[in-house]
Amino acid sequence: MNTERQPAWLDEIRWNEEGLVPAVAQEQSTGKVLMLAWMNRESLLLSVQEGRAIYWSRSRQKLWRKGEESGNVQLLKELRLDCDQDVLLLIVEQIGGIACHTGRHHCFFRQLQDNSWVNVEPVLKDPKSLYGK
């Protein structure tokens, strides 16, 4: 990415050794935490420019436009930086009501109960129908 024309506010973020920062997506209408992902300078700048959540996929080593396959796009409504300047909070409108690749509303569907992780949120849509796999 061309760093010459990047806005100064990007330099205020404390990026980790890999040039990434954790990004928490929170649903504007409910306040629910939907997911955690990672962003690099390019994905953050594009998110602001395009008005939608664009993350950095660590597993695929490429930009990940949330919803590019499933259609469950996150429209960026607000962007915040924490007090230590090392975590982003994206306030989003979750299109389609599904943020998790498992077909659930959000990624935090497991709850610790009696020393076991229990799925406490329903699958809203079969992931195979979201991703064609």
Name which residue leads in pLDDT, 72 or 5: 72
- Where residue 50 falls among pLDDT bands split at 50, 70, 90? very high
Q: Which CATH class is domain 20-131?
A: alpha beta
pTM here is: 0.90
Bridge partners (DSSP) of residue 56 are 63
CB 71 within 8 A of CB 65: no
Using alpha carbons, list the distances in angstroms from residue 17 to 20, 21, 37, 40, 108: 7, 10, 16, 11, 27
95: helix, strand or coil: helix
Ranges of each domain in the chain? 20-131
Bridge partners (DSSP) of residue 21 are 39
Mean pLDDT value across residues 62-73: 93
Q: What percent of the chain has pLDDT over 90?
A: 87
Q: For residue 59, which amino acid is it? A: S
Using alpha carbons, list the distances in angstroms from residue 13 to 31, 39, 45, 79: 24, 11, 12, 12
pLDDT at 129: 87
123: helix, strand or coil: coil
